[in-house]
Amino acid sequence: MNPALESWTQAARRALPAMRAWREVFHREPELSNQEHKTREKVLRALSELGIPYRTFDDLAGVVALLGADRTGPVVALRADMDALPLEEATGLPYRSTVPGKMHACGHDIHMAAVLGAAMLLARERPDGGPVKLLFQPAEEDGLLGGAGPLIEHGCLERPRVDYVLGLHVDPGLPLGQVGWGVGPFMAAADYFRIVVRGKGGHASTPQQGPDAVLVASEVVVGLQALASRVRHPVDPVVVTVGSIHGGTRHNILPEEVVLEGTVRTVRPGTRDLIESALKRRVRALAASLGARVLISYRRGYPALINPPEATERVARAVEVELGKKNVLRLDEPMMGAEDFARYLEKVPGTFLRLGVGQSTRPASLHSASFAPDERAMVVGAATLASATLALQGPGP
């Protein structure tokens, strides 16, 4: 592409009708993690329309496509996640979900369409560019195993070997038209815990016969907050949240068991180890002090997403040229949400960006039944991915 003639953004505007059509097709039939078979077929049809060869897998609902197999230069992979969430859509959009209880409430339909749009631009506007892999990944919302690891195990970063990987995620905290970037810890590691508190059931009028599992569970919930406030360094981000409590059947019956489930978010490996051991120690001590027994299950999920400096800064400079410096924001504080894109960055350099979809006319909260990002964000997303790809395939600084 000759920058004097047309920008990536201008080309992406011309591609918006195609991206809009793809996005609406994805949005109408959302599928949950590891069930993305119809979504995969839609992706395959789009790739066929673009003339981009692909490969699939019998045991994984992912797609790996390769644009420019005969090209030379660094191989850049663009990743899009495919799965939806178990929510009943309440957007009122004309192309709203037709599947009861399922919805693209995290913007993965936007991600897929933007990656397809970027592929269209790179194929048609820069046939002299380097090879580009397209990774359509299942199960990002799974939270523990995810889909990135299995796709890597299936060779998505090999044949040809990927030199850089790029991804982005819609962010309602950024205005439409803006892109956020950051170096180092950009998103948190996410771990899961389940605590079973076992006391003595009985009549609510005789709690002295305890231990009372509800009381012990309550002490555990409060006590866990000290992990974030007193165990780690004050400037080291940590979140410990109990999101689920189940126990009891009636107001005047003491249950024998209460189950707590929650998540731990950290950005440093050492802190991750510290919080896990401190959580187990504190829960056992609290339960023992009140005469109860506990069973603790602690499972590690996605690692922290760490953006390497060299690739990230090259991408940021290229996107600033494309979108204007005022629309490309450096974000110095990590988001405490998690992303299994982190697993790609453990293998090869690259970067992960945030795509602004914030607006004042519609509710815009991730994982909300009313989440309805503006489709114009796909123009920015496709232009960003295209310009970042060429920046990584060109000469270094």
Tell me which of 41, 219, 276, 375 is the catalytic residue: 375
Residue 34: other Cβ atoms inside 10 A: 18
- Please check whether residue 397 is in contact with residue 27, taking contact to mean a CB–CB distance below 8 angstroms: no
For the chain, the distance separating the N- and C-terminal CA atoms, rounded to the nearest angstrom, is 21
Give the pLDDT score at 127.
Answer: 81
Side chain identity at residue 42, one-letter code: K
Distances (CA, A) of 65 to 48, 50, 202, 389: 10, 11, 61, 15
CA 294 to chain centre: 32
What mean pLDDT is predicted for residues 43-63?
98
Residue 360: other Cβ atoms inside 10 A: 7
Give the pLDDT score at 350.
Answer: 98
Kindly report the average pLDDT of the chain as a whole number.
95
* Residue 5: pLDDT over 80: no
pLDDT classification of 3: cutoffs 50, 70, 90: very low
pLDDT classification of 129: cutoffs 50, 70, 90: confident
CA 31 to chain centre: 16
C-alpha–C-alpha distance, residues 334 and 303, integer Å: 13
C-alpha–C-alpha distance, residues 176 and 165, integer Å: 24
- DSSP secondary structure, 304-350, as one string: PEEE-HHHHHHHHHHHHHHH-GGGEEE--SPBSS--TTHHHHTTS-E
* Residue 302: pLDDT over 50: yes
Q: What is the DSSP letter of 52?
A: -
pLDDT digits (tens, 9 = 90+) for 155-212: 999 999 999 999 999 999 999 999 999 999 999 999 999 999 999 999 999 999 989 9
What mean pLDDT is predicted for residues 81-87?
98
User: Is residue 260 helix, strand or coil?
Assistant: strand
- Please check whether residue 69 is in contact with residue 127, taking contact to mean a CB–CB distance below 8 angstroms: no
Main-chain phi, psi angles of 96, to 5 degrees: -60, 165
C-alpha–C-alpha distance, residues 315 and 164, integer Å: 11
C-alpha–C-alpha distance, residues 394 and 3, integer Å: 15
pLDDT classification of 2: cutoffs 50, 70, 90: very low
For the domain covering 189-300, report its CATH number.
Answer: 3.30.70.360
Our answer to whether residue 375 is catalytic in this structure is yes
- Please check whether residue 187 is in contact with residue 215, taking contact to mean a CB–CB distance below 8 angstroms: no
Helices (runs of H) and strands (runs of E) counted in the chain: 9, 16
Tell me which of 257, 302, 322, 344 is the catalytic residue: 302
Instruction: Give domain 8-187+304-393's CATH number out of 3.40.50.2300, 3.90.1150.10, 3.40.630.10, 3.30.230.70.
Output: 3.40.630.10
For CA atoms 86, 89, 95, 98, give the dihedral sign: positive
For CA atoms 350, 51, 154, 41, give the dihedral sign: positive
What mean pLDDT is predicted for residues 220-249?
95
* Residue 388: pLDDT over 60: yes
Residue in the structure block whose two tokens are 């005469």: 291
Give residue limits of the domains in the chain.
Answer: 8-187+304-393, 189-300
Task: Kindly tell me the burial class for residue 161, based on how many C-beta atoms sit within 10 Å of its own C-beta (0-12, 13-18, 19 or more).
Answer: exposed
pLDDT classification of 360: cutoffs 50, 70, 90: low
Q: What is the DSSP letter of 231?
A: I
Residue 41: other Cβ atoms inside 10 A: 14
For the entire predicted model, the pTM comes to 0.94
